[in-house]
Amino acid sequence: MRKVAPAQRPPWALAEDDFISRCTRCDACVEACPTLILVRGEGGFPSVDFSKGECSFCTECVTRCEPRALLRTDAHELPWALAARIGDACIAAAGVECRVCGESCPVGAIRFRPQLGGVSRPQLDVQTCTGCGACFAPCPTRAIAIESRLDTPMESEQ
C-alpha cells in the first residue's frame, strides 16, 4: 500500500488528525494570509503553496482561526517542522553560477562555499532554516523542496 504525505498545513497547525477534526474549512486563515501562500486544498482544507511566496510567520492565520485548528500556545514554539532541501537539479552542480536561493533567504540559512575550479555551491544550514519557503519559488530549476526536518539531512551529512 502506497502512503501519501499529507498536505502542508498552515503554521502552528495541530497534528493532522486533530487539525482535520477541528478545521471547519471556513477560509478565514486563507483570507488572512498577507503573502497569499495559504490556499484551499484537497477537501477544502487550507494548505500551503510555496510557489506563491513565503510564510512571514505573522500569525494572522492563527489569530483568525476560530475553531483553533491553528494554535500557538508559546511565543517560542516553532511554527512547523519544515526545512528546505536543495536537490540535484541545482544548476550550480552543472557549473552555472546561481545564488538566487541564498539571496532570497531572509535568515541567511543558505551560504555559498567556493569550489576549486568551479562555481560556488549552496550549503543549507538546517538549524537556521525556518522552512518559510522564500527560496522555493525563485529557484529557476525547482531544485528546492520544503519538507519535514525529520527527512532533511543536517549540513554535515550532505
pLDDT of amino acid 151: 60
Query: Which residue type, as a one-letter code, is found at position 106?
Result: P
Taking only the tens place, the pLDDT of each residue in 41-64 is: 999 999 999 999 999 999 999 999
- pTM, to two decimals: 0.85
pLDDT of amino acid 6: 66
Structural contact between residues 105 and 136, judged by C-beta atoms closer than 8 angstroms? no
Taking only the tens place, the pLDDT of each residue in 55-113 is: 999 999 999 999 999 999 998 999 999 999 999 999 998 889 999 999 999 999 999 98
pLDDT of amino acid 5: 56
Position 1 pLDDT exceeds 60: no
CA gap 88, 108 in Å, rounded: 21
Structural contact between residues 66 and 83, judged by C-beta atoms closer than 8 angstroms? no
Partners of 38 in the β-ladder: 48
| Least reliable range by pLDDT among 5-9, 132-136, 154-158 | 154-158
Taking only the tens place, the pLDDT of each residue in 31-42 is: 999 999 999 999
